Amino acid sequence: MPSPARYRRIEALVFDFDGLILDTETPVFEAWRVVYAESGHELSLDRWQHSIGTDGSGFDPLTELRRLVGRPLDRAALTRRRREIRDRDLALRSALPGVESALSQARAIGLKVAIASSSPADWVVPHLERLGLAARFDAIATRDHVADAKPAPDLYLLATAQLGVDPAQAIAFEDSPNGVASAKAAGLYCVAVPGPMTAALCFDHADAKIHSLSARTIAAWIREAERPDRRLSVSIRPRPGNG
């Protein structure tokens, strides 16, 4: 018999932030790529993308660049240059497709909503405030609040605890394999929503995979997550013209 937890009513949604609510990942990578190019080197997406969804501690781009250049770097100047490029791009970006609709649907159904992010609060919260979304979340769990970032389960365990729900009563939305691993380790049903930076990565451990949050309604995800046989994975293919 399946575990009784599989029959529990879905009561909450937990969203990743970077690459799921806002595409911060492309501006961050492109800024680093410019800094590398200006130093005569290339930063490949393959080298970069495996750290997406974590706190970045596994890969230090500045240390790597110093190794490639073979001499000391002006770290302060490079950081200013990178942030200038990144922030100029970020200022022009809005919430990703389907985000606001998903939040509205969740509220209409009576679901609690949270964020679980490997980024610090001083990165996540200002972006949410700029987008006008901060007040729409009941809880925001960030790297500052846990011992280990994703792929450890800590952030999802904290987010569901803050919402007052069992992890089995929540659906996670993630754009990276590290995030999926975190959500699944915590016991959530997890929907992968890869972005341009993570589309080529493997999401075999997700319960489902879609191209955009707008591809399916929250009510449909609840029905899927509450199925007794929900261990079965589903994959929603992009429809023509549905970008």
Active site (catalytic) residues: 16, 18
Distance between CA atoms of residues 23 and 4, nearest Å: 37
